A and B are shown apart, each in its own frame.
Chain A
């Protein structure tokens, strides 16, 4: 029976070439695009190196200082009692507005007041990427440099392909060393091997290359700098006000606690930060810290809301709805195509039922045909996805990003497509199986 279905499906696909083309194109194109989207999401949001610990991380990018203004507000009521006017005045002491100032951290704030937080396995302090120009062999080159501590390489599992990562002595002694990415090594030296000990001169200072890490292929900036230097090289105490600077913090939670517990501890740690410092000349009376998970931070980058959980929720549902919509459109198209295809074959249904086919036999036959068709479409879709992804990687459509085919996601996408393939075949087949035999035979399209 199965081989008969397969034979019939194969013949039907071959005989109705235009229909087959439209169906296979719909299935394979949907799967192909879905794979590219999922590959991008997996590449950026998946737990893979150097973000294998991403679900254990809390980002603290900004410090916000707030000043709430309070005023005494009089309210005067006029009362007339026994023909005499009286005045009744009440006073309210309430908020009349808030002034805020927020920025990335002065690194000393993180080091001095926000490093020792309960339930934290480790914390790293790192800067935004800073653009620096320098010259090699008379050619001007630009590097995105990050300043970080030794924990950076513990929290982010960059693969060190030559030399070593920072040690605590590099940070303590403010050694003039750097760890560069394989991409930068290729770009600046034309190789990734034998460059340990090479020197790069930046701002009249010479830095020795002590390690090379595998370029992550991600577009998230804090795991894709060109080179990383010890943060102690920068002295922020002179150049920045006490609270603000160019640094951020990332915390890794202890294994046994919930991520929200660490979030709460970080929020509570705002009480550690002194407000009586001379730099607070505006009189801010509150420090607000808004820690966020990796996914929340990513979501805020796309849709900003002050509440990162809300940003995450909105982006998550938007993406899910878009994906569903993306799958639903071709599914509806397939249902239409299958309905007209099955209608064309109503006479065949009549013949089969005349010779003893049950309604179940008819529905099973058309579902089997759809499964075979979807399976072929799936294979084409996979090939299409591989081609598109390798094309996108080759043309470097986004700086530093590298997409990978994730077969687990392919399987999920395929199951979803198969499900809709089955549904799109089953609905019209079920309707047609209920068609009276005599009417089905009258269609005479055979």
Chain B
């Protein structure tokens, strides 16, 4: 489903050239739960951003569902991200001015779905992460674990085929981390959603189908 061939990412300034990713080859099957580990600065998040089409590789080719992603530009790229991908960030990135249900609704705003249907879909997503009773709360009224569950609800509300999670348990204690991990595992099992997760936590990584390790921008395991 996801195919990375010789993916490189080089950051250049006038004086320095830094290689963040060095010729990564990776295939991720549909419905697979993959975790990426490695020390800080090894390129894990960069790789996730490239797979999520948030960043562009300096070299190599990425294809998803057989489509080369470099063909997507502007509106088609936005549409692709909106329909196929869901993101979960370490620091949640909820919009503080919107209440929980409106936050979950964000991906649906960019589809032609009427307000009533959007509300229903967002409520259902919140229910699936156990936050149906917090719809009208604002992010600053929630705990870290609850915020991350809202972020998961936002990621899954549009039924994406792929979820990209960047250290989703990084800011949570072990109990909350386990809760979030269970939700992701269930999502993977029940909906066959492909999940790629970056983590520092060996314990969490072991709960996934496959683990790859990066070191200095190269895949080492």
Shortest distance between the CB of B53 and any CB in chain A (Å) = 9
Report whether B107 and A11 are in contact in the complex, using a CB–CB cutoff of 8 Å.
no
Partner of B55, one of A4, A8, A361, A437: A437
- Interface: A347 (CB within 8 A): yes
Q: Is A48 an interface residue (CB 8 A)?
A: no
**Most B CB within 10 A of own CB, among A358, A361, A436:** A358
Question: Is A354 at the interface (CB under 8 A from chain B)?
Answer: yes
A356 lies within 8 A of B79 (CB): yes
State A289–B83 Cα separation when bound (angstroms). Answer: 80
User: A351 within 8 Å of B by Cβ?
Assistant: yes
Given that A358-B75, A438-B54 are known contacts, is A4 also in contact with B105, CB under 8 Å in the complex? yes
| Chain B residues in 8 Å Cβ range of A359 | 74
Q: Which of A12, A358, A437 contacts B97 (CB 8 A)?
A: A12
Q: Is the CB of A355 within 8 A of B81?
A: yes
- Give Cα A359 to B98, complex, Å: 20
A3–B158 Cα distance when bound, in Å, is 20
> How distant is the Cα of A15 from the Cα of B97 in the complex, in angstroms?
8
Answer whether residue B109 sits at the interface, using C-beta atoms and an 8 A cutoff: yes
Say whether A7 contacts B110, CB under 8 Å: no
* Residue in B closest to A444 when the chains form the complex, CB atoms: B91
Cβ of B26 within 8 Å of any chain A Cβ, yes or no, is no
**Closest chain B CB from A95 CB (angstroms):** 74
- Knowing A3-B115, A437-B55, A438-B49 are in contact, say whether A355-B110 is a contact too (CB < 8 A): yes
**Cα distance, A354 to B92, chains bound together (Å):** 13
What residue in chain A is nearest B49 (Cβ atoms)?
A: A438
Partner of B82, one of A350, A356, A444: A356
Question: In this assembly, does B95 line the interface, its C-beta being within 8 Å of a C-beta of chain A?
Answer: yes
Give chain A nearest CB distance to B96 CB in angstroms.
6
**When chains A and B are docked, how far (Å) is the Cα of A190 from the Cα of B93?**
72
Chain A window 253-277, contacts with chain B (Cβ cutoff 8 Å), 1 for yes, 0 for no: 0000000000000000000000000
**Is B141 located at the chain interface by the 8 A CB criterion?**
no
- Within the assembled complex, what's the spacing in Å between the Cα atoms of A353 and B105? 14
User: How many Å from the CB of B61 to the closest CB on chain A?
Assistant: 20
Chain B residues, Cβ within 8 Å of A441: 54, 89, 93
Residues of B within 8 Å of A12, CB to CB, are 97
B78–A358 touching, CB < 8 Å: yes
A418-445 interface code vs B (CB 8 A; 1 in, 0 out): 0000000000000000001110010010
B198 at the binding interface (Cβ < 8 Å): no
B195: A residues at CB distance < 8 A: none
| B78 contact set on A, CB distance < 8 A | 353, 356-358, 361
Evaluate whether A354 and B97 lie within 8 angstroms (CB atoms) in the complex, with A1-B109, A7-B102 already known: no
The answer to the question of B34 belonging to the interface, with a C-beta cut-off of 8 Å to chain A, is no
B205 within 8 A of A: no
A1–B74 alpha-carbon span in the complex (Å): 21
Q: Are A437 and B75 closer than 8 Å at their CB atoms?
A: no
Q: Which residues does chain A contribute within 8 Å of B126, judged by CB atoms? A: none
Least Cβ distance of B70 to chain A in Å?
16
Size range of the chain B interface in the assembly: 20 to 34
Q: Is the interface of A mostly helix, strand, loop or mixed?
A: helix
Nearest chain-B residue to A360 (Cβ)? Answer: B75
Pairwise interchain contact B102-A354, C-beta atoms closer than 8 A: no
* Inter-chain contact A355/B154, CB cutoff 8 Å: yes
Residue in B52, B55, B96 whose beta carbon sits within 8 Å of that of A15 in the complex: B96
In contact, B97 and A356 (Cβ under 8 angstroms)? no
B92: which A residues are within 8 A, CB to CB?
Answer: 446
Complex alpha-carbon distance, A4 and B98, angstroms: 9
Contact of B110 among A350, A357, A438 (CB under 8 A): A357
State how many angstroms separate the Cβ of A344 from the closest Cβ of chain B. 11
Are A358 and B55 touching (Cβ within 8 A)? no
Question: A348 near B: Cβ within 8 Å?
Answer: yes
Residues of B within 8 Å of A444, CB to CB, are 91, 93
List, in ascending order, chain B residues with CB within 8 A of A67's CB: none
Kindly provide the distance from the CB of A341 to the nearest chain B CB, expressed in whole angstroms: 12
Cβ contact within 8 Å between B98 and A8: yes
Among B74, B94, B95, B111, find the residue whose CB has the most chain A CB atoms closer than 10 A.
B95
Most chain B beta carbons < 10 A, residue from A8, A354, A358:
A354
Q: Does B87 contact A (CB under 8 A)?
A: yes
Q: What is the CA–CA distance of A15 and B139 in the complex, to the nearest angstrom? A: 13
* 0/1 interface trace, chain B 154-198, chain A, CB 8 Å (1 if under): 100010000000000000000000000000000000000000000
B106 contacts the other chain (CB 8 A): yes
A154 in the interface (beta carbon within 8 A): no
CB distance from A1 to the nearest CB of B (A): 6
Name A8's closest neighbour in chain B (CB-CB): B97
Minimum-distance CB pairs A-B, first 4: A356-B82, A11-B97, A355-B107, A356-B110
Q: Can you report 26 residue pairs joining A to B where beta carbons are below 8 Å apart? A: A7-B102, A8-B102, A11-B97, A12-B97, A15-B96, A348-B95, A352-B106, A354-B87, A355-B86, A355-B106, A355-B107, A355-B154, A355-B158, A356-B81, A356-B82, A356-B107, A356-B110, A357-B109, A357-B110, A358-B75, A358-B78, A358-B110, A359-B74, A361-B109, A436-B55, A441-B54
> Chain B interface (Cβ within 8 Å of chain A)?
49, 52, 54-55, 74-75, 78-79, 81-83, 86-87, 89, 91-98, 102, 105-107, 109-111, 115, 139, 154, 158
Instruction: A11-B98, A354-B81, A355-B87 given; name 12 further pairs at CB < 8 Å.
Output: A1-B109, A8-B97, A8-B102, A353-B78, A354-B54, A354-B87, A356-B111, A358-B74, A438-B55, A441-B89, A446-B95, A446-B139
